């Protein structure tokens, strides 16, 4: 019986977390919701990614989001520097390393863009193409940054 109650309450919490994420998303400035809905449907904060990666315990997503904000977002800013300073192979390694984290926090469109960039590093032809893609990823990340921070804040509030 206790297990059942705990399960129900977990599900309610998850639903609450999902709703909170949705509200946070709707209220987040700087994101063109329609364009996201069309081209980045997987970014829609329906909370499914929480269930996929963290099960019913959404609280696990909190330290992951925190690490993501503190460590992964700055990595995106460094991509052009890595390319200029260490070359294409190091850029590929860096992109390969950070890519799964983007999917893990629900940013699948950015993750796909990073996969494209990684593949371009393998079939490397023009350095300008790489810089162009990096710039595009950086712009997209900048747009989504407030939303990701809001996600983190909303989940943190909910946990307390």
The footprint of another protein (CB under 8 A) covers: 51-55, 57, 60, 63-64, 67-68, 71-72, 93, 96-101, 103-104
Residue with Cβ nearer another protein (68 or 147) = 68
Residue with Cβ nearer another protein (64 or 130) = 64
Least distance in angstroms from the C-beta of 71 to another protein:
6
Least distance in angstroms from the C-beta of 53 to another protein:
6
The residue written with tokens 């590093």 in the block is 121
Residue with Cβ nearer another protein (33 or 97) = 97
Least distance in angstroms from the C-beta of 144 to another protein:
16
Least distance in angstroms from the C-beta of 3 to another protein:
14
Mention every residue, 6+ apart, whose C-beta is less than 8 A from residue 35. Answer: none
Q: Which of 148, 77, 151 is nearest to 159 (CA)?
A: 151
Residue with Cβ nearer another protein (22 or 53) = 53
Burial class (CB in 10 A: 0-12, 13-18, 19+), 107: buried
Least distance in angstroms from the C-beta of 26 to another protein:
25
Instruction: Spell out the long-range contacts of 56-63 with Cβ–Cβ below 8 A and sequence spacing 24 or more.
Output: 56/7, 56/10, 56/11, 56/13, 56/14, 57/10, 58/13, 58/14, 58/17, 58/155, 58/158, 59/155, 59/159, 61/105, 61/155, 62/152, 62/155, 62/156, 62/159
Residue with Cβ nearer another protein (96 or 131) = 96
């Amino acid at each position: 019986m206790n297990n059942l109650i705990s399960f129900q309450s977990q599900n309610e919490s998850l639903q609450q977390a999902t709703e909170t994420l949705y509200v946070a998303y709707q209220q987040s400035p700087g994101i063109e919701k329609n364009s996201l809905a069309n081209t980045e449907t997987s970014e829609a904060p329906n909370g499914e990614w929480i269930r996929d990666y963290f099960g019913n315990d959404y609280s696990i997503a909190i330290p992951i989001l925190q690490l993501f904000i503190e460590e992964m977002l700055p990595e995106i800013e460094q991509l052009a520097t890595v390319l200029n300073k260490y070359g294409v192979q190091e850029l590929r390694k860096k992109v390969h390393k950070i890519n799964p984290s983007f999917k893990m926090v629900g940013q699948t469109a950015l993750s796909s863009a990073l996969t494209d960039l990684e593949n371009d590093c393998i079939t490397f032809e023009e350095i300008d193409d790489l810089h162009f893609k990096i710039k595009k990823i950086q712009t997209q990340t900048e747009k989504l940054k407030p939303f990701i921070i809001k996600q983190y804040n909303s989940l943190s509030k909910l946990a307390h």
